[in-house]
């Protein structure tokens, strides 16, 4: 049975985590939640119990790092970066801004990778090649997904790699993933005023993440 | 500010709940989690704290019922059916097999509605008209979504109705919902062996839900 370690932290985006979590379970992939604490308070209501701490995570086929506003704090947390830098798995993977954490741990230097469209440029700070306009980027054993909802597409790709395409096809049908998005989900296709509004709304967060990644890269040497 | 009540219960499918939860928050919609208990243990790891109990839920614009394997127990639980039957909101909504619970509470009689593709036929037992092959079905003030991942499309439609299309467009871009599904997510498009395999795997659950809905309809009269 394939096994995936899933990093959990306060302030992670719930959907980044839950979309692949449900897909993995549907496909019979074992998930193990890894976190600094025995229980992570994701937001004011959602809590998730850990199966392992950062220092005792078992062997697995993959590690998955979700994104979310809590990524800023993770970038300042050497124990999390240490865990990732020394994690021995076949696949190093992320959803959304989780790729910034993989990058800070030195895992994307020299790799093509993606992130949430708003933050993907920041990967270049860590020596990665940012890829825009792709839902999933696979470069050797790094698999990075785009923003938030990319976790569904991502989960299906990882299931296909770990368990075969038949399991991935079955999981997609089980979760009835036949999307009919009413509007546009990428900056290329969205109305220019929508893209502009989101850029404005996220400008402070962009600057914060840029600073946090810079600091992590100066401080952390694995 | 628009407000949505979200029913939580043990054994709900995490993604049914979390996809609209994240979308609502991105769009500035207030969510209030309603549950029998102060804290709901969704699965062995995930817990969610309630904002209100079944007997003291505040006024809201919509009630959302997710699905999942716990729906069978909910169908046997009169307090949950009572809550739904007497809930005063503008919109009665569901994701996946959550529609079976709305149906058991008498809320879909004479309405067109949908559910997870595998279980949608069961809605006819409760006097609803099952609609197949549609991601979202809106009939007057009932909005029902298809299986699991339909919660994203659903959330965007409900946000558009409650807050306007500009907010929905912004939320779709914020969550980068530009899906690229690798396989098929509907029984019409999937390989016949995939559909057959899922039908086999879910045969026992289908029979259980059919029985639980029958029992609820015999027992519960609002």
How wide is the angle at C-alpha A75 spanned by C-alphas A69 and A77, nearest 5°? 115
Give A13's contacts in chain B (Cβ within 8 Å).
22
pLDDT(A222) > 70: no
Binned at pLDDT 50, 70 and 90, residue A168 comes out as very high
Q: Which of A27, A99, A155, A182 to mutate to test the interface with B (most CBs of B within 10 A)?
A: A182
A178/B173 CB distance under 8 A = no
**Residue whose token pair is 């959550």:** B98
Cβ contacts of B176 on chain A, cutoff 8 Å? 96, 116-117, 146-150, 185-186
Q: How far is A169 from chain B (nearest CA, A)?
A: 6
Cβ distance of A175 and B15 shorter than 8 Å: yes
- Residue extents of the structural domains in chain A: 3-221
Q: Estimate the share of chain A in helix, then strand, then coil, as percent rounded to the nearest 5.
A: 40, 15, 40
Residue B221, pLDDT score:
78
Rounded Cα–Cα distance for residues A146 and A127 (Å): 18
What is the predicted pLDDT for the residue at B6? 98
B184 contacts chain A (CB < 8 A): yes
Q: Which residues of chain B have pLDDT under 70?
A: 222
Question: Which of these, B27, B70, B26, lies nearest to B48 by C-alpha position?
Answer: B70
CA distance B6 to chain A (A): 12
| Structure confidence at residue B29 (pLDDT) | 98
Q: What is the pLDDT of residues A31-70, one digit of tens each?
A: 999 999 999 999 999 999 999 999 999 999 999 999 999 9
Confidence of residue A146 (pLDDT cuts 50, 70, 90): very high
- Partner-chain contact A179 B179, CB within 8 Å: yes
Q: Which residue among the candidates A74, A87, A96, A163 is catalytic per the annotation?
A: A96
CA–CA min distance B38, chain A (Å): 11
Which pLDDT tens digit goes with each residue over B123-143? 999 999 999 999 999 999 999
Q: Pick from B180, B19, B177: which is nearest to A137 by CA?
A: B180
| Chain B residues within an 8 Å CB radius of A153 | 179-182
Q: So what's the pLDDT on residue B222?
A: 66
pLDDT score, position A22: 97
Is A96 known to be catalytic?
yes
Cβ within 8 Å, pair B183-A168: yes
What backbone phi and psi angles, to 5 degrees, belong to B121?
-55, -35
pLDDT at position A221 is 78
What is the percent of chain A where pLDDT is above 90? Answer: 99
pLDDT at res. B122: 98
| pLDDT value at residue A36 | 95
In CATH, the number for domain A3-221 is 3.40.50.880
A76: Cβ–Cβ under 8 A, 6 or more apart, which residues?
A: A212, A215, A216
């Amino acid at each position: 049975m394939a096994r995936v370690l899933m990093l959990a932290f306060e302030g992670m985006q719930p959907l980044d985590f839950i979309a692949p979590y449900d897909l993995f379970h549907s496909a019979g992939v074992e998930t193990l939640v890894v976190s600094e604490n025995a229980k992570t308070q994701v937001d004011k209501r959602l809590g998730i119990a850990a199966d392992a701490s950062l220092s005792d995570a078992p062997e697995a086929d993959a590690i998955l790092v979700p994104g979310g506003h809590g990524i800023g704090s993770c970038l300042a947390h050497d124990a999390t970066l240490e865990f990732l830098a020394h994690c021995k798995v076949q696949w190093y993977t992320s959803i959304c801004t989780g790729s910034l954490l993989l990058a800070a741990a030195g895992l994307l230097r020299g790799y093509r990778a993606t992130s949430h469209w708003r933050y993907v440029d920041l990967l270049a700070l860590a020596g990665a090649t940012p890829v825009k306009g792709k839902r999933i980027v696979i470069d050797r054993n790094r698999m990075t997904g785009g923003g938030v909802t990319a976790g569904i597409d991502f989960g299906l790709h990882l299931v296909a790699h770990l368990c075969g395409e038949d399991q991935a096809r079955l999981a997609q049908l089980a979760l009835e993933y036949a999307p009919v998005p009413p509007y546009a989900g990428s900056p290329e296709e969205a109305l220019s005023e929508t893209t502009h509004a989101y850029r404005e709304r996220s400008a402070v967060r962009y600057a914060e993440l840029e600073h946090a990644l810079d600091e992590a890269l100066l401080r952390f040497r694995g």
